[in-house]
Structures are given as structure tokens and as C-alpha cells.
Structure 1
Amino acid sequence: MLDRLEKLDQELFLYLNEQQSPFWDTVMVTVSNKYFWIPFYLLLIGYIIWRYKMQSIPMLLMAVAGIGLADYVASGIFKPYFARLRPCHDPELSAMVNLVRGCGGKFGFLSSHASTGFALAVFFNLILSDRYLIFKIVLVIWAVVVSYSRIYLGVHYPGDIIGGALVGAGTAMLAVVGYRLWLRKYTRFQHKPLA
């Protein structure tokens, strides 16, 4: 069963990875670069502080905790434990991989990009009201595109991405519990957002 799943994962990877063009190469390298998103993160932090005032303190701290935990679980636990080679390091596949720019570390299961991206997206999807639906959708699309870029660039299997997304969602849920407990215990951090 596991062999069959791994074979399907490899076949899906090869199909998705061969959909290449010079234009999308540039886009995916940019999207995958964590430094490219710094202005996005700063705008998000600024908006949360402006909108939620004191409540932004536990909100942002728990978001960072969820993201940090997701990264640790993916890179610090799963990658060394499972030791699954990235497709670009796999001797059976590396000749077939369209590697756009660099292969990265030796192991790829789980994807840290997917785990941290989905930790952020799921955290804010769970704590913000439905009036922020567009904002929530944008965060999910962002997490999906960043995660997909890792397959496109030849450094992760789809299974690495799905597993990373599940871990990120799980750590986001833990962070939400922490956030709600904080608000319950310290009422001074509760704030009604601006209309």
C-alpha cells in the first residue's frame, strides 16, 4: 500500500513538474522566495495591530507560535526521521526532474513552505469572523500557490506538500486554542474591532 502511494506521488510529481515555461520559472522562483513576502507579512502585521489594538498582541504571538511549531515539526522532526529524499536528490528520478534553481537540503518530507504557509492561513481563517471572507480566501490561495511552487521547482513531492499542509493546519488549531485561552484569562486583551 505504501509502495503504491509512493509510486502515485512520484507520477503526480513528474506530471506537475513537467509543466514548465520560462515565464512560470521566474514566477515560481519569486513566489517560493521567503524574502519576497516580507512586505506582505509587514502589511498583515500592521493591519492586525491597527484593527485589533491590544488584542493583536496574543493574536500575533499565537500566530508566530503556530508557524514556528509547524516549521519545527516539518524540518526538525519529520525530515530527519523519515529521511525521504527530495525528488531532485533521488537517483531514480533526478534525471527526469525539471530543476529550476537549486535543490535545497537532502530530505523533503515534509515541506516547511507548506507547513508554515498553511499554519498562517488556517490560523487566521479560524479566528477571524466571516466578514473577512475575501481576506481568508486570499490567505488560502497564497498558501496553495507557495506550496505548489515547490513542486514546480522540483524540490518537493505532492505528498510532502499535503503532509506539510496538514501539519500546518494542526499547529494552527493548537495556536487558536492558545489564543482563546489567553483572551479568556486576560480580559484586558479583548477588544471589539472597528466597524
Structure 2
Amino acid sequence: MHELIQEDKSIFLFLNNLGSTPFDQLWIMISATWIWVPLYVIFLYLLFKTFKFRSLIFILIFIALGVTVSDQLAGIFKTGILRLRPCHDPTLTGLMRAVKCGGQYGFYSSHAANTFFIATFMSLLLYKKFKFLPYFLFVWAIVVSYSRIYLGVHFPLDILMGSLMGFFTGGFFATLALKVIHKQNNSASTAKN
């Protein structure tokens, strides 16, 4: 375990030190939630074009539940595992670029969990109609996740664990949403007959 943590720190230092001051504001912006609001509006539009209004309501409920679960699990892990963020780790003082800093503990990354949740959820719901979308979504999730290493607030293992948690919760909630939509569509067609 000690060797794994040391390797994680080495990879973090390599990736974090690739940054330079002229690009700091760009990566701060990429990491911010508000900058992606137009993208979320586009997601909503794509869902609206693909699903009936009633199905859309269920989808939005599942997204809200999934993001909440993903976020709360990250909080439980952070307070349970108590792994210091890189910017709070005294062994990295003077070795890293601390562009930003968050709370004391950072395992695992809720940014990675939430973006991978959305990428997985939206991909499973929309890939049949928009074939290119999963590629775009996962590149977006990777870029947002990397921003956390760039800024100095997460180690690569924090990102990896967050990404996996987001991927699995996204898959789980997308599967539930599709089952509810399928059941609802079957009930509607049975009622018509």
C-alpha cells in the first residue's frame, strides 16, 4: 500500500508540474461548475428531443438521485479514509503547484464521480440516437477530472476511484431509468389497446 501511495504521489507531481501560470485561469474555469451550465442545457434539450415529457421527468429525478448518491458517497469516503489532499500534504510542500485548495481530505474526487456519472448516464440514454455523444462526454469527464490534478486538489487515485464510482452509479441509475421508461411505455400502449 505504501508503494502504491508513493507511486500515486510521483504521478501526481509529474502531471501537476506540467502546468504553468498562463494556463491556471483556464483550468480553474474548467474545474468550475457554473461554466458547464450551457452544456447541461444542451443535455436537457437532447433528452427533450428523444423522450416523451413524462419520461423526461423520471430521467431528471434519476439524475438528481444519482448525483446526490454520488456526491454523498464521496463525502463518506473523504471522512472515512481521511487522505489529505495534495495541497494539504506536508510531504509535497515546495514540490507541487498548488493553484487552488479545497477541504482537508480528498479521497475520492466528487468532480470525477459527478462528471463520469453524467457521462455514463447520458451515454446510455442517448447513444442510439446520437452515436458521437459518448466520445464527447467521456473526453469532457476526463478533462474536468484532470483539472483537479492540475489545480493540486486531487491525486490520480482520487480521480480514478471517483471516475469508477461515477461510471458504476451512472450505469446503475441509467439502467433504472430505462426500465421505468420501458415499463411506462408498455403501460401506455396496453392502455391504448
TM superposition score normalised by structure 1: 0.89
Partner of 1:121: 119
Residue type matched to 1:24 in 2? F
Give secondary structure in 2 for the equivalent of 1:147.
Answer: helix
Q: Which runs of 4+ in 1 moved over 6 A?
A: 188-191
Partner of 2:60: 60
Instruction: Say which is worse superposed, 53-62 or 135-144, in terms of deviation.
Output: 53-62
Aligned-residue RMSD, C-alpha: 1.9
Kindly provide the CA deviation profile for residues 66-96 of structure 1, in whole angstroms up to 9, marking residues without a partner as x. Answer: 2221111112x11000000001001111321
Partner of 1:138: 136
Equivalent positions of 1:152-191 (< 5 A) are 152-187=150-185
CA contact (8 A) 2:108 2:159 kept: yes
TM superposition score normalised by structure 2: 0.90
Residue type matched to 1:119 in 2? F
In structure 2, stretches of 5+ residues that fail to align are none
- Taking the aligned partners of 1:138 and 1:190, their CA distance within structure 2 comes to 34
1:87 and 2:86 are equivalent in the alignment: yes
Give secondary structure in 1 for the equivalent of 2:52.
Answer: helix
Corresponding pairs, count: 188
Residue type matched to 1:45 in 2? L
CA contact (8 A) 2:117 2:167 kept: yes
Query: Cα 1:133–1:169, aligned 2, differ >3 Å: closer, same or farther?
Result: same
- Taking the aligned partners of 2:175 and 2:128, their CA distance within structure 1 comes to 19
Identity fraction in percent: 36
In structure 1, stretches of 5+ residues that fail to align are none
Query: Cα 1:59–1:22, aligned 2, differ >3 Å: closer, same or farther?
Result: same
1:50 and 2:58 are equivalent in the alignment: no
Partner of 1:70: 70
